[in-house]
């Protein structure tokens, strides 16, 4: 019987975490790893057309996606002041976020960085609101995405973004075309080429 009690309490804890943003935060942070190396075409196929773009130079551009989540309000017409309790919980624990801006850097038409900004935290975890933007890519992964394993509790955290991946700057100058060409040893990893 004790093992049944442990399983039941674990299931209750898991369900309570899911309602507070824990799994949304993990999904958003997992996307910060899985989307690295993704082609521009695949990114737009699963995340949609960016709300704004900025070309930084011949090889680098920024895509910005913005999303807003409407929080439901509870009625206080009952004996229990549900909305007041919810407001106090959010003030105490934080996590009343409603907006996310995903800033995605592309080098040589491949995703090299994914950052989140805005009021994007839910009650448990950080950046949980941003899972709205990356959810299409997570649910139906594109061919150029990385596979991120680790089950429901690894390798990403719900409480902080993953470390930025190491990037190679190896490139070769092509005399015929007079261009610096990246040396792709792994086509899922972008190469940042310094300008001469």
Q: 54-88 pLDDT, tens per residue?
A: 999 999 999 999 988 765 555 556 676 666 666 66
Structurally, the chain folds into a number of domains equal to: 1
Within a domain: 134: yes
Within a domain: 174: no
Within a domain: 109: yes
Within a domain: 189: no
Within a domain: 27: yes
Within a domain: 159: no
Beta strands at 110-117 and 171-174: parallel, antiparallel or unpaired: unpaired
In sign, the C-alpha dihedral spanning 137, 142, 146, 149 is: positive
Within a domain: 42: yes
Tokens (6 digits) for 185:
């040893």
DSSP string, 12-69: HHHHHHHTTTHHHHHHHHHHHHHTTT-BHHHHHHHH-S-SEEEE-SSSEEEEEEEEE-
pTM for the predicted model, two decimal places: 0.65
If one counts every other C-beta atom within 10 angstroms of the C-beta of residue 120, the result is 27
> Which structural domain range is residue 57 located in?
7-146
């Amino acid at each position: 019987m004790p093992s049944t009690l442990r399983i039941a309490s674990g299931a209750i804890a898991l369900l309570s975490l899911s309602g507070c943003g824990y799994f949304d935060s993990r999904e958003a942070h997992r996307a910060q790893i899985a989307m690295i190396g993704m082609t521009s075409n695949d990114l737009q196929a699963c995340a949609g057309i960016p709300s704004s773009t900025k070309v930084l130079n011949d090889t680098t551009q920024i895509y910005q996606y913005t999303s807003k989540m409407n929080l439901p309000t509870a009625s206080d017409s009952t004996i229990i002041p549900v909305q007041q309790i919810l407001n106090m919980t959010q003030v105490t624990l934080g996590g009343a976020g409603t907006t996310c801006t995903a800033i995605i850097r592309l080098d040589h038409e491949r995703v090299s960085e994914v950052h989140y900004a805005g009021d994007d935290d839910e009650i448990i975890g950080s950046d949980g609101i941003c899972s709205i933007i990356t959810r299409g890519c997570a649910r139906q992964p594109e061919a150029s995405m990385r596979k991120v394993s680790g089950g429901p509790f690894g390798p990403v955290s719900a409480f902080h973004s993953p470390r930025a991946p190491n990037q190679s700057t190896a490139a070769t100058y092509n005399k015929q075309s007079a261009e610096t060409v990246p040396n792709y040893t792994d086509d899922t990893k972008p190469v940042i080429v310094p300008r001469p």
